[in-house]
Amino acid sequence: MTSKPKVVDVHTHVYPPQYVSILKSRSKVPYVRDTTPGQPSRLIILPGEDDPSSESTARGRPIGPEYYDINKKIEFMDTHGIDISVISLANPWLDFLDRDEAKGLARDVNDAINSMCDAHPGRLFAFGALPLSAPSEVIVDEIHRLPTLKYTRGIIMGTSGLGNGLDDPELDPVYQALEQENMTIFLHPHYGLPKEVFGPRAADYGHVLPLAIGFPLETTIAVTRMILSGVFDRFPKLSVLLAHSGGTLPFLAGRLESCILHDAHYSGPGAKVESRRSVWDILKTNILLDAVVYSELGVRAAAKASGADRVLFGTDHPFFPPLEAAEGEEVKWLSVTTNYKAIGEAFGPEKEQAEAVLGGNAVRLLRLTTD
Ligand code: 5CU
């Protein structure tokens, strides 16, 4: 008898209780704030999100137990037919902490998330977090500790790296350790674009510009800098899962490769770069793309760029909840059903490819078994 194919969510976040306590103790972004009596606390995390002159929805988002109670994650999974979730700390991770705090909290958070997985064997795996403000030996030590955590298969990180972006050569020991330990990087945006690009009325549009445009472009720029600086030439086995289907990378890969081929720095006589792997090769060898893109067109572009065997279903839970569900009501989330529908439509009669994107790829690529 063949078993039912698994559905795996690789893009799903949690804030462990000790992280929430830190957010509650702070008065600068990121923080959790009780603003209106009788209303849920608000989670203020994005840069500039607490601008007092803005009355729009751009001022944070309500935070309830779905952000920190792992039982809520399991309920959400059951409601949406998800067998396994690969949980990760949500942004801004440990980026805002000083070096000593980051070192201690990385261990605590990674242990706490691993324990959440242990409490639901077979349902949860994890991406850990790195203490990126600590010295690189501390970061590398934490990476070498991750394989001792039974459910951890990689790490989530933002685009700032050690402070100078992901093309910083100082990150090489970190990339080397991740490659050695076979830990996938889940590259996720947080910082967006400089606010000036969105103009003086940006706050009138709620969160739409930073989330729909700023986030994907941030990821696109970060991974492009990794490609241009030769990270994937130096670490050819490095595996990087890009949030939101790689931002605009699948669409722009051809232009990127063409610009490289027409730039004397990389190509032609006198080029400063001796050899390099093509963008297409990197997309098909090193890059995994989540399918959190909400359209058939986006899923098709992702599958064309990296291969349908490298695209992985995700939800972005607990972000993007339905706006009108009554408290405690178990409804299906539009953000999730849209992504299911996009995968179904992208592959049509190619049911095996759809099943692979929904779960088989994640099980294989992230080794989601505990035997
Ligand atoms: O709604 C948001 O701000 C976010 C966020 O901050 N991080 C994320 O993963 N999704 C949505």
Number of domains in the chain: 1
State residue 330's pLDDT score.
73
**CB of 45 sitting under 6 A from ligand 1:** yes
**CB of 46 sitting under 6 A from ligand 1:** yes
| pLDDT band, very low/low/confident/very high, at 119 (cuts 50, 70, 90) | very high
Mean pLDDT of 70-91: 98
State residue 1's pLDDT score.
59
Confirm whether 340 is domain-assigned. yes
Confirm whether 370 is domain-assigned. no
Question: Is the pTM here over 0.95, yes or no?
Answer: yes
Confirm whether 1 is domain-assigned. no
pLDDT at 328 over 70: no
pLDDT in tens, 9-44: 999 999 999 999 999 999 999 999 887 788 889 999
State residue 11's pLDDT score.
99
Which structural domain, as residue segments, surrounds residue 107? 8-365
- Of 159, 293, 319, the residue with max ligand 1 atoms within 8 A of its CB, to mutate for a pocket test, comes to 319
Specify the residue with its C-alpha closest to ligand 1, atom 10: 319
| pLDDT band, very low/low/confident/very high, at 370 (cuts 50, 70, 90) | confident
Confirm whether 175 is domain-assigned. yes
pLDDT in tens, 213-264: 999 999 999 999 999 999 999 999 999 999 999 999 999 999 999 999 999 9
Mean pLDDT of 180-205: 96
Confirm whether 233 is domain-assigned. yes
**CB of 208 sitting under 6 A from ligand 1:** no
The alpha carbon of 126 is separated from its chain's Cα centroid by a whole number of angstroms, namely: 12
Confirm whether 3 is domain-assigned. no
**CB of 316 sitting under 6 A from ligand 1:** yes
| pLDDT band, very low/low/confident/very high, at 55 (cuts 50, 70, 90) | low
Assess whether the previous peptide bond of 322 is cis (omega < 30° from 0): no
| pLDDT band, very low/low/confident/very high, at 203 (cuts 50, 70, 90) | confident
Q: What is the CATH number of the domain that holds 193?
A: 3.20.20.140
**CB of 319 sitting under 6 A from ligand 1:** yes
How far is ligand 1, taken at its centre, from the CA of residue 171, in Å? 25
| pLDDT band, very low/low/confident/very high, at 59 (cuts 50, 70, 90) | confident
Mean pLDDT of 113-134: 98
- Four-residue CA torsion sign, 208, 209, 215, 220: positive
Which 3-state string (H, E, C) describes the chain? CCCCCCCEEEEEEECCHHHHHHHHHCCCCCEEECCCCCCCCEEECCCCCCCCCCCCCCCCEECCHHHCCHHHHHHHHHHCCCCEEEEEECCCCCCCCCHHHHHHHHHHHHHHHHHHHHCCCCCEEEEEECCCCCCHHHHHHHHHHHHHCCCEEEEEECCCCCCCCCCCHHHHHHHHHHHHCCCEEEECCCCCCCHHHHCCCHHHHCCHHHHHHHHHHHHHHHHHHHHHCCHHHHCCCCCEEEHHHHCCHHHHHHHHHHHHHCCCCCCCCCCCCCCCCCHHHHHHHCEEEECCCCCHHHHHHHHHHHCHHHEECCCCECCCCCCCCCCCCCCCCHHHHHHHHHHHHHHCCCHHHHHHHHHHHHHHHCCCCCC
| pLDDT band, very low/low/confident/very high, at 167 (cuts 50, 70, 90) | very high
State residue 326's pLDDT score.
64
**CB of 91 sitting under 6 A from ligand 1:** yes
First to last CA, the chain: 21
Specify the residue with its C-alpha closest to ligand 1, atom 4: 319
Burial of 245 (0-12, 13-18, 19+ CB in 10 A): buried
pLDDT at 177 over 80: yes
Mean pLDDT of the chain: 95
For residue 45, which atom of ligand 1 is closest to its CA? Answer: 6
How far is ligand 1, taken at its centre, from the CA of residue 208, in Å? 11
Confirm whether 371 is domain-assigned. no
pLDDT at 56 over 70: no
As a whole number of angstroms, the distance between CA 151 and CA 138 comes to: 21
Amino acid at residue number 186: F
How far is ligand 1, taken at its centre, from the CA of residue 292, in Å? 12
For residue 11, which atom of ligand 1 is closest to its CA? Answer: 9
Question: What percentage of the chain reaches a pLDDT higher than 90?
Answer: 87
pLDDT at 184 over 80: yes
Q: Among 129, 95, 102, which Cα is nearest to 113's?
A: 129
**CB of 166 sitting under 6 A from ligand 1:** no
